[in-house]
Amino acid sequence: MGKRDDLIAKYADDLKNKCGMDPDMDLLTKVTIGCGPAIYNDDASTVAATQEGELETVRTNFLIKKLGLSDGPELMEAINAVIETYGRSERNKYRAVVYYMLTKHFGKEAVYG
């Protein structure tokens, strides 16, 4: 297995054990690939849930630009709901896991079709 496969396995484990979800491995793989080289960088591979600017970046670059959603208060509500599901106290909230949960939340799996 390559490094990316190892990371995908780690993300799947987080979804199962920390978020209580049974991951769709095909979608998780596509979301992970969509994150690009960020998954290999310790800082970029995680979402700093306590930093407002970081959550803005997720909203703007992922939800609006990538998933094509219209801006509105429901976007930040969804981000906060995902962070709650992951666990606010969880130190490492992996970007691919957060993006996967947001993709599922908005039913935008087709973006990765």
pLDDT at 65: 98
| Crossing angle of helices 95-105 and 25-34, rounded to 10° | 120
pLDDT at 111: 97
pLDDT at 81: 97
pLDDT at 80: 96
Q: Tokens representing 11?
A: 């993300």
**pTM of this structure:** 0.96
pLDDT at 53: 95
pLDDT at 20: 97
39, 4 contact by CB (below 8 A): yes
Q: Tokens representing 86?
A: 């992951």
Q: Tokens representing 17?
A: 């054990």
pLDDT at 56: 97
98, 67 contact by CB (below 8 A): no
DSSP line for 68-88? -PPPSHHHHHHHHHHHHHH-T
Task: Flag residues of the chain having pLDDT under 70.
Answer: none
pLDDT, tens digit (0-9, with 9 covering 90-100), for 32-57: 999 999 999 999 999 999 999 999 99
